[in-house]
A and B are shown apart, each in its own frame.
Chain A
Amino acid sequence: MAIVDSRTPDPKRFLSGATGDWEIVVGMEVHAQVTSESKLFSGASTSFGSAPNDNVSLVDAAMPGMLPVINQQCVRQAVRTGLGLKAQINKRSVFDRKNYFYPDLPQGYQISQFAHPIVGEGVVMVSVGPDRQGNFEEVEIGIERLHLEQDAGKSMHDQHPTMSYVDLNRSGVGLMEIVSKPDLRSADEAKAYLTKLRTILRYLGTCDGNMDEGSMRADVNVSVRKPGGDFGTRCEIKNVNSIRFVGQAIESEARRQIAILEDGGQIDQETRLFDPAKGETRSMRSKEEAHDYRYFPDPDLLPLEFDDAFVEELATALPELPDDKKARLMSEAGLSAYDASILVSEKAIADYYEALAKGRDGKQAANWVINDLLGALNKAGQSIEETPVSPDQLGQVINLIKEGTISGKIAKELFEIVFAEGGEPRAIVEERGMKQVTDTGAIEAEVDKVIAANPDKVEQAREKPSLAGWFVGQVMKATGGKANPQAVNQLVREKLGID
């Protein structure tokens, strides 16, 4: 593939070395497990955490005479993902054998796609930031291709002093390998790209994106160069399994390469592993083992072909994607770009918000989700999926404010109670006497009390009307925050004779 430099060097991304600035160049290959019930070429289950070798058919174990038959759902998912990446869909693609030996690869080859992948070039828009001013920068990252391939089995090396344990449950599970162009220029961009890609996959429902279960892994290609110069020699860091580690791996690998180059050395193109405990990469394979996969078309499989109608049908049924949803929330509900970005960042947050905002004020709903709900979840170390407050419960809280039953301040307390203890917000307000006092007589009595107790402040307030706020505060305090603030404000001003 001819490498095209699509980016303009940007000094704020440079790393400084002893001999001046350096620019990082990163491209990624992301392996995303296709969401499907059964495997790519066999009828065994894809479920995670089953007993060893329980989800294995004779095809997956590469027993003699077994033949692969492709799962149409995996084909659909790959095409849907391609559409979500605004990519070229190839109506004819070919499966090849990628030959290598490893104990968790019983066939001795992986069925993959080499020269003719199912999906060609596409783009992902990535938001990098926020910077110190709270601004995000939109960067377009090119997709080179997406192809379907089989996953390998799993080896465990720590169970026995001289033997490795092999479980083939993952063997033959469908993967989408999504290859980016070398368009990334910093660890932050790489992290943002991976995050965005995962969001898109989750919106589409084509991959669950659970990196700790291995359903999404990244191979990261890193090189460095003098800004705007020729691309340097790259090293590939294999199987990085968290977004945070991707960032760390890129930083440490770039530093390692810069140190070698500044000492007058040169970079050997090689495969490396990231060691999270040490925070650095190490060489994985010696050079004489350099890979020669001897790809050739798999004679067990015909080319994969489909027509425009097949693609069209999938395109029509595609869900709204994060970028479109963000634009819609900004135009329909009048949300800021920042708020909309947060709400669409995870499908579960967007779903929660949309359930809450239905029939309610969009901005108010956004504030509650972003400031209160996400804040409380973050503090409790919980994800949106684990929220103890349902959209319906939070919706009731907002309704109670709108009806004038509770004040905004009481609403925050009510939210905390529902978050900690659960329950029906309306019932809690009744039981715990949190209703706003709207009875003017009762409020008036409190206002009179405060005025009578503070004749000096009354004098001052006549001179300086802004002091009315102090009286309002006192009345609110005396009523335990339950008085209607507007009513109090009005009465205070009347009684003090200011308008």
Chain B
Amino acid sequence: MSVDTDTVHRVAHLSRIALKEGEAERMTSELNAILGFVEQLSEVDVEGVEPMTSVRPMAMRLRDDEVTDGGKADDIVKNAPATEDHFFLVPKVVE
């Protein structure tokens, strides 16, 4: 499997990563090197092997339905560049 420059541009856009002039070409060869490396895994026969979801076989923990958090709007918006009345303010987005 390999990617071309168009795919790199598209993936970058979907991830909201800005690529400068010439970077797409460099990223394309880097990504292809990574994909080639990962491709070696397909040489291993995994017929009948369950995909591993955790290192130790364990079931997912579930929590009780209790309100244990919240009431910290000051903290939540503390790092935001712009706020008002505990709202985050972001450049206008309307669809």
Q: Contact residues of A with B, CB < 8 Å?
A: 36-38, 42-45, 51-59, 61, 69-75, 99, 101-103, 155-157, 159-168, 273, 284-285, 292, 294, 297, 301-305
A73 touches B92 (CB 8 A): no
- Which residue of A is nearest B85, CB measured? A52
B65 touches A72 (CB 8 A): yes
Q: Which residues of A contact B94 (CB under 8 A)?
A: 157, 164
16 A-B pairs in the complex with CB atoms less than 8 angstroms apart:
A43-B67, A43-B69, A53-B77, A55-B70, A61-B76, A69-B62, A70-B63, A161-B92, A162-B92, A163-B89, A164-B90, A164-B94, A165-B84, A166-B87, A302-B58, A304-B60
Q: Which residues of A contact B76 (CB under 8 A)?
A: 53, 56, 58, 61, 168
- Which residue of A is nearest B72, CB measured? A56
Query: Could you tell me the distance between the alpha carbons of A176 and B75 in the complex, rounded to whole angstroms?
Result: 30
- The 4 tightest CB contacts between A and B, nearest first, are A43-B68, A73-B65, A72-B62, A57-B69
Interface of B (DSSP majority class)? loop
Query: Could you tell me the distance between the alpha carbons of A157 and B87 in the complex, rounded to whole angstroms?
Result: 12
Question: 8 Å CB contacts to A: which residues of B53-89?
Answer: 53-54, 58-73, 75-77, 82, 84-89
B91 touches A164 (CB 8 A): yes
- Smallest CB–CB gap between B71 and chain A, Å? 6
Query: Could you tell me the distance between the alpha carbons of A250 and B64 in the complex, rounded to whole angstroms?
Result: 41
Interchain CB contact (< 8 A) of B93 among A103, A161, A292: A103
Asked if A163 meets B91 with Cβ closer than 8 Å, knowing A52-B85, A55-B70, the reply is yes
B71 touches A164 (CB 8 A): no
Query: Could you tell me the distance between the alpha carbons of A73 and B64 in the complex, rounded to whole angstroms?
Result: 7
A302 touches B87 (CB 8 A): no
Q: Which residues of A contact B68 (CB under 8 A)?
A: 38, 43
Q: Which residues of B contact A69 (CB under 8 A)?
A: 61-63
A53 touches B73 (CB 8 A): yes
B47: Cβ under 8 A from any A Cβ = no
- Smallest CB–CB gap between B93 and chain A, Å? 5
- Smallest CB–CB gap between B82 and chain A, Å? 7
Interchain CB contact (< 8 A) of A57 among B58, B62, B70, B86: B70
Q: Which residues of B contact A44 (CB under 8 A)?
A: 67, 69-70
Q: Which residues of B contact A166 (CB under 8 A)?
A: 87-90
- Which residue of B is nearest A99, CB measured? B14
B20: Cβ under 8 A from any A Cβ = no
Counting chain A CB atoms within 10 Å of each CB, the highest count among B65, B77, B85 belongs to B65
- Which residue of B is nearest A301, CB measured? B60
- Smallest CB–CB gap between B31 and chain A, Å? 15
- Which residue of A is nearest B57, CB measured? A302
A52 touches B87 (CB 8 A): yes
- Smallest CB–CB gap between B74 and chain A, Å? 9
* Given A38-B66, A38-B69, 11 additional A-B pairs, CB 8 A: A43-B63, A44-B70, A53-B76, A55-B70, A57-B69, A58-B75, A59-B69, A71-B64, A160-B84, A162-B91, A292-B10
- Which residue of B is nearest A94, CB measured? B53
B65 touches A37 (CB 8 A): yes
- Smallest CB–CB gap between B16 and chain A, Å? 5
- Which residue of A is nearest B71, CB measured? A54
- Which residue of A is nearest B54, CB measured? A302
B45: Cβ under 8 A from any A Cβ = no
Asked if A71 meets B86 with Cβ closer than 8 Å, knowing A38-B68, A101-B16, the reply is no
B21: Cβ under 8 A from any A Cβ = no
B95: Cβ under 8 A from any A Cβ = yes
- Smallest CB–CB gap between B65 and chain A, Å? 3
- Which residue of A is nearest B90, CB measured? A103
Asked if A284 meets B95 with Cβ closer than 8 Å, knowing A43-B63, A71-B63, the reply is yes
Q: Which residues of B contact A297 (CB under 8 A)?
A: 53
B14 touches A164 (CB 8 A): no
Interchain CB contact (< 8 A) of B62 among A36, A61, A75, A165: A75
Interface 1/0s, chain B 11-51, versus A by CB < 8 A? Answer: 00010100000000000000000000000000000000000
Q: Which residues of B contact A52 (CB under 8 A)?
A: 73, 85-87
A71 touches B70 (CB 8 A): no
- Smallest CB–CB gap between A218 and chain B, Å? 17
B88 touches A165 (CB 8 A): yes
Asked if A160 meets B89 with Cβ closer than 8 Å, knowing A53-B76, A56-B73, A165-B84, the reply is yes
Query: Could you tell me the distance between the alpha carbons of A430 and B54 in the complex, rounded to whole angstroms?
Result: 76
Q: Which residues of B contact A59 (CB under 8 A)?
A: 69
Query: Could you tell me the distance between the alpha carbons of A297 and B91 in the complex, rounded to whole angstroms?
Result: 31
Query: Could you tell me the distance between the alpha carbons of A98 and B53 in the complex, rounded to whole angstroms?
Result: 19
B65 touches A38 (CB 8 A): yes
B63 touches A51 (CB 8 A): no
- Which residue of A is nearest B14, CB measured? A292
- Which residue of A is nearest B10, CB measured? A292
Interchain CB contact (< 8 A) of B86 among A37, A38, A53: A53
Q: Which residues of B contact A303 (CB under 8 A)?
A: 53, 60
Query: Could you tell me the distance between the alpha carbons of A305 and B50 in the complex, rounded to whole angstroms?
Result: 15
- Which residue of B is nearest A61, CB measured? B76
